[in-house]
Structure 1
Amino acid sequence: MSVIIERIQFDEKGLVPAIVQDASTKKVLTLAYMNAESLKLSVEKGETWFYSRSRQELWHKGATSGNTQRIVEMRYDCDQDAVLVEVEPKGPACHKGNESCFEESFYKSEEVSTDGSSILTQLEKVISDRFDQRPEGAYTTYLFEEGVDKILKKIGEEAAEVIIAAKNRDKEELKWESADLLYHMLVLLKEQGLPLNEVFQTLEERHNK
Structure 2
Amino acid sequence: MKIDYNKNNGLVPAIIQDATTLNVLMMGYMNEEALNKTLESKLVTFFSRTKQRLWTKGEDSGNSLNLVDIKLDCDGDTLLIKVNPNGPTCHKGTDTCWAEDNNQDYSFLSKLESIISDRKQNASDDTSYVASLFSEGINKIAQKVGEEAVEVVIEAKDNNDDLFLNESADLLFHYLILLQAKGFNINNVMSILEQRNTK
TM-score bracket, normalised by the shorter chain, equals 0.5 to 0.7
Unaligned runs of 5+ in 2: 111-137, 152-165
Q: Do the aligned partners of 2:89 and 2:95 also contact (CA within 8 Å) in 1?
A: yes
User: Following TM superposition, by how much is the alpha carbon of 1:163 offset from its aligned partner in structure 2, in angstroms?
Assistant: 2.9
Query: Given the superposition, is the C-alpha separation of residues 60 and 188 from structure 1 closer, same or farther in structure 2, using an over 3 Å criterion?
Result: same
| Larger Rg over CA atoms | 2
Structure 1 residue 91 and structure 2 residue 87: aligned?
Answer: yes
Query: Given the superposition, is the C-alpha separation of residues 189 and 41 from structure 1 closer, same or farther in structure 2, using an over 3 Å criterion?
Result: same
Structure 1 residue 34 and structure 2 residue 7: aligned?
Answer: no
Paired amino acid for 2:27: L
Q: Do the aligned partners of 2:176 and 2:186 also contact (CA within 8 Å) in 1?
A: no
Greater share of helix: 1
Q: Secondary structure at the match of 1:92?
A: coil
Once the two structures are superposed, what CA deviation does each residue of 1:75-112 show, in whole Å capped at 9, x if it has no partner?
010111100000000001100000000237xxxxxxxx
Q: Which residue of 1 aligns with 2:78?
A: 82
User: Following TM superposition, by how much is the alpha carbon of 1:165 offset from its aligned partner in structure 2, in angstroms?
Assistant: 4.8
Q: Secondary structure at the match of 1:40?
A: helix
Q: Which residue of 2 aligns with 1:178?
A: 175
Structure 1 residue 19 and structure 2 residue 2: aligned?
Answer: no
Q: TM-score, normalised by structure 1?
A: 0.58
Query: Given the superposition, is the C-alpha separation of residues 72 and 163 from structure 1 closer, same or farther in structure 2, using an over 3 Å criterion?
Result: same
Q: Which residue of 1 aligns with 2:46?
A: 50
User: Following TM superposition, by how much is the alpha carbon of 1:187 offset from its aligned partner in structure 2, in angstroms?
Assistant: 3.9
Q: Secondary structure at the match of 2:145?
A: helix
Q: Which residue of 1 aligns with 2:144?
A: 161
d(CA) in 2 for partners of 1:69, 1:188: 25
User: Following TM superposition, by how much is the alpha carbon of 1:67 offset from its aligned partner in structure 2, in angstroms?
Assistant: 0.2
Paired amino acid for 1:177: H
d(CA) in 1 for partners of 2:73, 2:85: 22
Paired amino acid for 2:28: A
Q: Secondary structure at the match of 1:195?
A: helix
Q: Do the aligned partners of 1:19 and 1:30 also contact (CA within 8 Å) in 2?
A: yes
Unaligned runs of 5+ in 1: 105-112, 120-153, 200-209
Query: Given the superposition, is the C-alpha separation of residues 44 and 51 from structure 1 closer, same or farther in structure 2, using an over 3 Å criterion?
Result: same
Q: Which residue of 2 aligns with 1:67?
A: 63
Structure 1 residue 195 and structure 2 residue 181: aligned?
Answer: no
Count of aligned pairs: 148
d(CA) in 1 for partners of 2:24, 2:190: 25
